[in-house]
Amino acid sequence: MVLKVKAAQTVLVVDDDADILELFKESLEDLSFQVYTAKDGILALNFLTTNKVDFIITDIAMPNMSGLEFIHKLQERSDFTPFFFITGYHDYPREDLNRYKPRAIIFKPFDIAEVAMLVKNHLMRLS
């Protein structure tokens, strides 16, 4: 008899803050996710050219390529991977953010345990 082991679900976290990346990596790995990180949208797009993930968490305000531009370019490629926006800015017009169809918009500062559980709950509903 052959037992098939289910692969860990994968999450890509995109943020220019190394501390935020590490915080998400540790918290999501504690929930048994395989976590990848990128420090900007350009690196994230390059990674997603050859890799697929189950979920994305992206900051909005980043150098080189914003989270909005990253998601826009991803969706132009017909990649509609579910995602959360995270941001420290409360002045983005909600309608501008919502047109990308994020699963949630998380404002900094946030409780990492709560956000990690939100990711887990969204992925459980999607599987």
- Alpha-carbon distance 23 to 41, whole Å? 19
- Alpha-carbon distance 103 to 92, whole Å? 16
The residue ranges of the chain whose pLDDT is under 50 are 3-5
Q: Can you say how many angstroms the Cα of residue 96 is from the centroid of all Cα atoms in its chain? A: 18
Q: Can you say how many angstroms the Cα of residue 22 is from the centroid of all Cα atoms in its chain? A: 13
pLDDT score recorded for residue 6? 57
- Alpha-carbon distance 114 to 120, whole Å? 10
Nearest residue to 58 via CA among 36, 83, 75, 92: 83
- pTM value is 0.92
pLDDT score recorded for residue 5? 46
pLDDT score recorded for residue 121? 92
pLDDT score recorded for residue 124? 87
pLDDT score recorded for residue 4? 46
pLDDT score recorded for residue 90? 86
pLDDT score recorded for residue 1? 52
Question: Domain 10-126 belongs to what architecture?
Answer: 3-Layer(aba) Sandwich (3.40)
What contacts 71, CB < 8 A, 6 or more positions away? 56, 58, 83, 85, 100, 102
The domain limits of the chain are: 10-126
pLDDT score recorded for residue 104? 94
